[in-house]
Structure formats: structure tokens, C-alpha cells
Chain A
């Protein structure tokens, strides 16, 4: 039997390849993910090892808490140990570089890092030399390039209290492996200057040359841990590996979606092949093959296809991973790229996933093959898969049950449950369950959907158009599976698009409704304060209607660390307009009261009517919670009246200024006025609401684009599925096509017929996906939060359907050419 199977495969190499493509793409993506992340990890590990090689020992806090530091005392003890030839305490803290425009660069302050000059220098000096003395600094190479500074320039850097200092740039450093330096940009000083600038008096890490492990361990004590250079490299690589792990997991989820689509495509291909080979199978049964042998033959065939596809997939994955690596390297030059790493695990996993998915997908068709009666070999052929499809009772029951369950869970999640993560999860579950119902019911839906999707082509496409629409309906199961594969990708895409659009709409609505200001002035440092003189300066401007100040103060409430806030009283209810969930704004203006956000109100002892004990500079004060407000107004936590706040904590500088311009002032003039007023304060950042919204929109759009790119693979596989189904249908309809050609259908007409068929299938799949995506996007939006608003990205989803249709037609090009090329005479003789 195996020999028969292999002979059959050899005879149909092309068909084998076509089927394998789906697996190749899926396995390629998965193994590509592994190749990419493995190589990244390896590169990171190498970089760290090289950097850590320069130290003999390193001391780090043992606690995983990133805020944990090493005391100056420990540093002194270690420095004094016999045998220690050099020691460097790593100090890090905010030190905001001021750009050429006189404002601190970036959204966050740059990091000040201590840079040693001796053998313990772990960073690469790209240009110049390490800094030494109070007047010298080195800049991160990428930062310097972006801001247009180089060796020899003089720059201004703000210290921890936002006071400016002048430095001359003596070198450019590649801080590369330092995560903070990478994200925020970095400036380097010698250690004493770093301590003065950042105000940090403790150490992140102590690097040591020479010395003896035991002595260092004794000096460090239990709070800190001692590593050798090699251990340090491995440890750092491990923590960096966690980042790669997140990337890997994210990519693998999309890989799984792609494999699911591949499974559908494989299942369909095998189902069609089995149907077409009914006579062949019956003949095998006639000459004595048992059912088991027939079954085994199909399974063996699928295993061979899976193996071939997976092998190609591994090759593709290595290529894909390498290409992605090139992209990553361009973005992040710090990672040393090694040769792409194709580990044994990747090979085994890729092959296993590919073969297992293929064989599993072929099991049902294989079972169908065993049901072929030997006598079928003698009967004249019936059209495979044709005829009217009736939902069997089991299928109907399953579809109805799953559909009802999906709708019920979805309705409950989006309307009944309390908003938040749990509700979102139930909507996700509902979506999955309902999708299974759609899979079960799809064969019955193909006819009406095809009539709908084919209405226009059937009218405009003439006879070929009408025939195409009829062809799309003639094998409902086949069309259903082919289209469902596309539904997966398009559905998820529409879902994301709807959720993203709704998120944007919700945010924009909240901002406009609850927070109608044009500008925000804040420091780069999130804990920073804005000088009160700046608020006064802005207020004086004739273009400005109002300035709202918010203040924050850490305090202990009933023994727990909490943050109390306050807002300029005249702004509450007018400019700062939170949605009240319980109590009223007026009640929260009374002395001795507070209002809290919903999250806080949910904690015990923090609800409406509760009284909290606030530790203030004047002792513990009881504060009654008289209102609960919803999110969206840029305030959070416990909010007390301003007069109370001053009473509790004294005069605290505002954390944020919110600026409302006068209505008759053009936006540019208002912006100019605010910028002008903020000019003397390099640390004060002016952010306009429009910019904020734009930044947010762009961030959401970027995420959506990444998702779309990753889902693109699932869609491409589905399109291969359409091409595959069509190719097999073309083979099956060879005589029919020949008859049409004999009767006067031109080659172009025949090609058009097949493209319209593909178009109809693609549109069915895409429309189903879009409908599901919109419905569950709506449910998810509802489940997210109380005040979320649903937005339908019409253009986007219409675009998806059009693109899917066009791509479907593109998928038909090869099968159509093949059909059109076939000689009529030969095809008529074809049996």
C-alpha cells in the first residue's frame, strides 16, 4: 500500500507541492520566529559576555525589584578590600539633555550614567574619550546624532532639580546593551559628577577588578549578590531574553492562526482529492485493499506532504528569520548579529508541527476514503462533492447549540457583565464558540451568500459570470471550507480595526467632553513639578482663558501608600469635568471630603460614605469619601479640595498645568503664547491636545498595522487555498471547460469565469469575516468600559472586502491560465 501511495505522490508532484505550500508558509513563519528570536538571544548573549568579560566580579542587589540599590557604605567597604585593583560604582538617574531649541529632548529625560575611564569601562567609545571632571560629558552616539551634537560641542544638561549645567562633549559612547540608555538616550559623566547631577547617592551595580570572591561576598552582605564576569554576562542575557520571549510568544500566536488556516486548506485539499479519486480508491478496494489500508494510504500521503511542506517551511523560516533579523538590526544596532541560528529544537518543532497538523487535517478525508464502496469503481462517475447540501441533524444541532451559546456568552459579556478584562475574555470566548458554529453551518450558508456576493458579477459578467456564480455554489462543503479559511484572517483583522477605531473614538470623545483644554504643560519626569511662576506667566497671557493646576502628593492613608491630588477649584465641573458615578461634584467640594476613582472605590474601606485616615504634616486627618468619578478627565486616585490639600501638605508645586485658550484666538497664536511663556523653563514640556490625540492615533494605527502584517500570512495561506481549490476544480471540470470552449466560450471568457468564481469565494469569506469582526468588535468595545464608544471604520472594512476580492481574482490567474491552455480535443477525450 505504501508503495502505491508513494507512486501516486510521485505522479502528482505539482499537486503535492501546491498542497504543501500552505504548510510551508505556516511552518516557515513559526520556524522563522524561532530563528529570529534565537539569533537575537545569541547576539545579545555574546554582546553581554563580551562586555561582562571586562570585570572580574560584579555586585548587584539580590532582590529582583528594579528600584533596589547598593548602599554607598557597601561601595566603600568593597573599595577598601585587599587585592581590589579597580572598582566602579554604576550610578544612574535623570539628567535631561537640552536640545538646540532650548527644551529638554524627547518625551522623557535622558539618563545620566557614570562612565569609568579605566579597565572597567564596559561600553565602546565610538569617538573621543571617557569623561573626567565636572565639566565633561559623553553622549550616547544615537542621541548625539539625532540631536546634532558631536565631540567638541558644549551642551546644557539639567540636574535633578531642573537646573541647567554646561558641559563640553569629550566623547561619543555606544551604551548599546543598556536598556534604559536605549529607550531614553543617555549622557555620561565621571562618577562624582553623575552623583551631583542626578542626586543619586546609591549604586545600581559595582564592577570590580581583582579581589577575591569570598571577601567581596562578606563585604556585600546578604542584600547584594556577587557574580563573576561570566556569570554576569549570562545573567544579563537571561533578563534580556525575557524581552525576546515576549516577542516570540506574540509572533507564535499569529503563527498558530496561520497554522489553523493551513489546517483548513489541507483538510479541504484532501477532501477534494479523495472525492476525485473515488474510482481509484474503489478500484483499490476491488483488487483487495482493506479499509485500513485505504485509510493508511491517505494518512501516509498526508504525512509525506506534511514532511515535504515542513522541510520547505524550515528553509523558508531560516530565510524569513534572517530577513527579519536584518530589519531588527537596522532598528537596534546594539545587538551583535551572529549567523542565523537554526537550532535542533527549531527543526524538530517545525517538522512536528507541520506533519502533525497535516496528518490531523487529513484524518477526516481519510475516513471518508474508507467509506467508498468497491462497486463505485464500476459506476459511472458522480460529480464529487456536488449536489444540494443539506445540513445533517448532528451538524444542525452543533451549529445551533454553538451559535446560541456564542451569542449568549457574547451578549452576557458585552451587556451583562461588569466592564473590564473578565468581560473582554468572555467576548473572546463567545467569538471563538460562534466561529465554530459558523464553520459547522457554512456549507448551508454558501448558497445564499454566493447569490449575494455573485449578484453583481452574475449581472455584469454575462454568461461566464453566471456560470461562475453557479460553480461557486455547486460544491458547498468545498466552497465553505475554502472561504472559512479566509474568514479567519479577515475576521480578526476587522475585529482589530473596529476595536482600534472604537478606542480612538472613545478617547477623543472623552477628551472633548470631560477635558476641553488645548495644552498641557508638564515636566519630562513624571514625578516632576512645574514651577508656580510658570503657571502665573501663562495666566497673564491675553490669549489664555484659563490655567488649571493639578497637584499630587504621596501620603499614607490608613497605613498604606497612596497618592492624593487636587485640582484648581474653579476648573472642577467646567474644564475638568469627570463623569460622576456616585455622589456629586458639589458634595466633593465640601471641606474634609474627597472623591475617588472607580478603581479606588472598589477597594475595601475606600467606597462612597467611607472615611479614610490621611497622614498629613499636621497629623492624621479624617476625610470622608462623598463621590466616585469615572475615568477620562486626566485625574486619578483620591482627589480632595484644593484648600484642604494646602492645609494637609503646605504649598506644593503643581505637577501639571492645563491651559485653555480663548475661543477667538487661533490655535497657532495660542500655542505661540504658551511656548513663549514656557521658554525660560527647559524642563517644562508643552503638549497640545491635538498632538496628544495624534500621537495616540498613530500609536494605535501602528499596532494595527503590525497586526495586519502578521495576519497577512493567514490571509495569504487562505488565498493559496482558493488557488488550490480552483486548480482541483479545474482538473475536475476539464471536460466541462472543453465543452464550453467548443460551444464558443473564448479563452478569455473561460479565464474570466474562473476569476469570478474566485472573486465570489473570496468575497463570501471576507464578508463573513467582516460581519463577524464587526459584531464581536462591537461586543468587545462594549465590554471594555462603560463609556466606550463604538466606531465602525467603514472605509477600512470595505477595503478589506475589496482587497480580498482582488486577491482572490489574482489567486485564480494560474488555474485559469491552465484551464484556458488545455486543448479542447484532448480534454473532450479526457476521462
Chain B
């Protein structure tokens, strides 16, 4: 993919934690009750800086996906607070949460990102249409070109490769200019080349468009595209790396699993 905002990896973010786009304060999450209770999150507190690319890592069962779901307003917390932009989302009802996701959050999932009945273009514009907002055509064109999707707009997901599908999902996430994009293993189902394209786009959206991205991954290479990596184990943040490299991430992971 030839991105107009491609950028070599490794550059430090301008101001990592100047202002948080999303903040978690002592967030805990318990599934079940009594003896069967599972503590998925145990008092997580951290902030995700505006205009930064943050990766969340951890071994399986560490609670990284749960943390992301809570941050994005997909799941409710058992305790603590989450503030997204200027809004405290903990305690919001389903309707307000839905509208918040629609207007201020973008999503890229590992798989099953697109509605099979809609074309690529319709999929990209879906959140805007759900909100009844008019798309900014110039911005749409820029995003589509940046992702190399111009000649794929009329295709349905079944006619797109996995990488193309994931790029459509990226376009959808960014076209509404959300306050934060949450990506859940966005490259988990892709080969390394397609994965690199998606990751490259996410990073350049941060660099060049000032987007905020929070990504859950277990792939050290994917994590190395981020400005900062937060490590979870057993529902707690145990450490973090700023300006990660694949090797550094791998080392830290190994030490966590040991």
C-alpha cells in the first residue's frame, strides 16, 4: 500500500500524554459471582493520550480485550470510572453509550468487520449514515485514496480479500473522525504484508491526521508500530514501554509469561 502519509517507524510521538483521550481510573470487571467469580480487571488505571497510538498487550486471559471493550463502551465495568473525551461513560445507559460509540468512537475488529449486504462504500459510510450525518466528500476521498480502495468501492465484502476488507474497516473507522479508534487484533487474520499495510495506515493516521488509536494485539511486530505499549497480566497493568521495538516487546512479554 502506498500511503500518502506513510512514515518510517520509530519516531517518538509529539506529546505522548499531554492530554488523555480516554482515561481509566481504578477500573475493575468481575464476571459471575461467588466462587465462580472471575476477576478480568483488577483496578486498572491509565490514560490514552490524544493523538497517540497505544497498544495493549498481554498473555491470553490477561484482560486486554475486556479492557478495550470497557474503554469503548461495549461492556460495563464493575467498579471504577472511564472518561472518554469529556464524558464519563461509566454509568451511561445503553442508548447514550450507543450514540457515544456512533459519534465519537471508531472500531476495527479482528474479523467480521463488514456487513455482507453492503458495498465497501456503504460499509465505510455506515456510522455516518446511522448518525444521519453528511459525509465530507473530500475527506472520504482522501481516506479512500490513502487506503487504495478507490476501485473497490462498489464491491461487496465477499468480493474483497481479507486485507482489503480490513482496509475498508479502517476507512470506516476513520471517516467519521472519531475521538478514538479502538482496534481489536486488526491484523490477527491477515498475512504479514496485508497486516503491515493496515498497521502502517493506523500509524500514519495518528501522525498525519492527529488520530488517537488504541490497539489490542498479541503480536510484538504489530505492537512495535505503536508509540506506547501497555502490558497487562491477570487483569492488572504491570508495565509499559514507550517507543517500542519488536525485540523489546518480545523480551517484555517473555518476562511476563515466565
Interface membership of A223, Cβ < 8 A:
no
Question: Do the beta carbons of A736 and B115 come within 8 Å of each other?
Answer: yes
> What are the residues of chain B within 8 A of A748 when measuring CB–CB?
95
Chain A min CB distance to B164 (Å): 16
Q: Which residues of B contact A473 (CB under 8 A)?
A: 117
A side interface size, CB within 8 A: 27
B117 and A743 contacting across the interface, CB-CB below 8 Å: no
Residue in A470, A741, A744, A828 whose beta carbon sits within 8 Å of that of B103 in the complex: A744
- Contact A744 to B116, CB < 8 A, known contacts A739-B109, A749-B130: no
Counting CB contacts under 8 A, is A281 at the interface? no
Q: How long is the Cα–Cα vector from A387 to B157 in the complex, in angstroms? A: 12
B69, B115, B116, B117: most-surrounded residue (chain A CB, <10 A): B117
For B172, what are the chain A residues with a Cβ–Cβ distance below 8 Å? 743
Q: B residues within 8 A CB of A744? A: 98-99, 101-103, 127, 130-131
Q: Does A735 lie within 8 Å of B103, measured CB to CB? A: no
* A739–B118 alpha-carbon span in the complex (Å): 13
Residue of A nearest to B184 (CB): A828
Asked if A825 and B74 make an inter-chain contact with CB atoms under 8 angstroms apart, the answer reads: yes
User: What is the bound-complex CA distance between A393 and B228, given in angstroms?
Assistant: 60
Bitwise interface map of A from 733 to 768 toward B, beta carbon under 8 Å scored 1, else 0: 001100111111111110000000000000000000
In the complex, A825 Cα to B67 Cα: how many Å? 11
Find the A residue at minimum CB distance from B106: A743
State A383–B157 Cα separation when bound (angstroms).
12
Min distance, Cβ A472 to any Cβ of chain B, angstroms? 10
Chain B 27-61 residues near chain A, CB threshold 8 A: none
B71 in the interface (beta carbon within 8 A): no
Alpha-carbon separation in the docked complex, A471 to B103 (Å) = 25
* Contact across chains for B112 and A739 when beta carbons are under 8 A apart: yes
Contact flags (1/0) for B96-116 with A, using CB distance below 8 Å? Answer: 001101110001010011111
Q: How far is the CB of A589 from chain B (nearest CB, A)?
A: 76
On whether the beta carbons of A825 and B132 are closer than 8 Å, the reply is: no
Chain A residues with CB under 8 Å of B69's CB are 825
Are B74 and A474 interface neighbours, CB within 8 A?
no
In the complex, which residues of chain A have a beta carbon less than 8 angstroms from the beta carbon of B126? 463, 743
With both beta carbons as reference points, the residue of chain A lying nearest to B127 in the complex is identified as A743
Closest to B126 in A: A743
Interface: A455 (CB within 8 A): no
A808 to B116, CA, bound (A): 24
Whole-angstrom distance between the alpha carbons of A746 and B129 in the complex? Answer: 13
Nearest CB in chain B: distance from A757 CB, A: 11
Q: Which residues of chain B come closer than 8 Å to A470, judged between CB atoms? A: 117-118
Considering the complex, which residues of chain A in the window 220-239 have a beta carbon less than 8 Å from any beta carbon of chain B? none
Distance in angstroms between the alpha carbons of A747 and B130 in the assembled complex = 12
Contacting residues, chain A, for B74 (C-beta < 8 A): 742, 824-825, 828
Is B7's beta carbon under 8 Å from chain A?
no
Please tell me the size bucket of the interface on B: 20 to 34
Q: B-facing mask of A268-304, CB < 8 A → 1, else 0?
A: 0000000000000000000000000000000000000
Interface: A467 (CB within 8 A): yes
Instruction: Point out the residues of chain B lying under 8 angstroms from A745, CB to CB.
Output: 98, 102, 130
In the bound complex, CA of A467 to CA of B109 (Å)? 20
- Chain B nearest CB from A130 CB (Å) reads 79
Q: Is A386 an interface residue (CB 8 A)?
A: yes
Q: Mark B117-153, 1 if CB is under 8 A from A, else 0.
A: 1100000001101111000000000000000000000
Task: With both chains docked as a complex, state the minimum distance between the C-beta of B69 and any C-beta of chain A, in angstroms.
Answer: 5
Nearest-Cβ distance from residue A822 to partner chain B, whole angstroms:
12
A622 at the interface (CB under 8 A from B): no
Distance from B189 Cβ to chain A, minimum over Cβ atoms (Å): 9
| Complex contacts, A828 vs chain B, CB 8 Å | 74, 109, 112
Q: A743 contacts which of B94, B101, B116, B132 (Cβ < 8 Å)?
A: B101
CB distance B127 to A462 under 8 Å? no
A739 & B102 in contact (Cβ 8 Å cutoff): no
A823 vs B126: C-alpha distance when bound (angstroms): 21
A456-486 at interface with B (beta carbon < 8 Å): 462-463, 467, 470-471, 473-474
- Chain B contacts for A386, CB-based, 8 A: 116
The answer to whether A467 and B117 touch across the interface, beta carbons within 8 angstroms, is yes
Nearest to A741 among chain B residues (CB) is B98
Q: Give CA–CA (A744, B173) in the complex, Å.
A: 12
Report the bound CA distance from A828 to B103 in whole Å.
Answer: 20
B101 A742 Cβ-Cβ under 8 A: yes
Complex Cα–Cα for A824 and B129 (A): 20
Q: Does B234 contact A (CB under 8 A)?
A: no
Bound-state CA distance A739–B126 (Å) is 11
Known contacts A739-B109, A824-B74, A825-B69; A747 and B115 CB within 8 A of each other? no
Q: In the complex, A749→B126 CA distance in Å? A: 13
CA distance A387 to B102 in the complex (A): 29
Kindly state the separation between the CA atoms of A746 and B93 in the bound complex, as whole angstroms: 11
Complex: chain B residue closest to A473, CB-CB: B117
Which A696-747 residues sit within 8 Å CB-CB of chain B? 735-736, 739-747
On chain A, the residues within 8 Å of B107 by CB distance are 742-743
Of chain B, the residue at the smallest CB distance from A386 is B116
Of A467, A471, A736, A743, the residue contacting B102 (CB under 8 A) is A743
Contact of B117 among A474, A735, A741 (CB under 8 A): A474
Residues of chain B contacted by A463 (CB below 8 angstroms):
126, 129-130
Q: Which residues on the A side are within 8 Å of B132 (C-beta)?
A: 462
A739 to B74, CA, bound (A): 10
The 10 nearest A-B residue pairs measured at CB:
A744-B102, A470-B117, A825-B75, A746-B98, A463-B129, A735-B112, A744-B130, A744-B101, A825-B69, A824-B74
List 13 interface pairs A-B (beta carbons < 8 Å), by A numbering: A383-B116, A387-B158, A462-B132, A463-B129, A470-B117, A742-B74, A742-B109, A743-B102, A744-B101, A744-B127, A746-B99, A824-B74, A828-B109
Residues of B within 8 A of A (CB): 69, 72, 74-75, 94-95, 98-99, 101-103, 107, 109, 112-118, 126-127, 129-132, 158, 172
Known A463-B129, A736-B115, A745-B130; 4 more pairs at CB < 8 Å = A387-B158, A467-B115, A471-B117, A739-B114
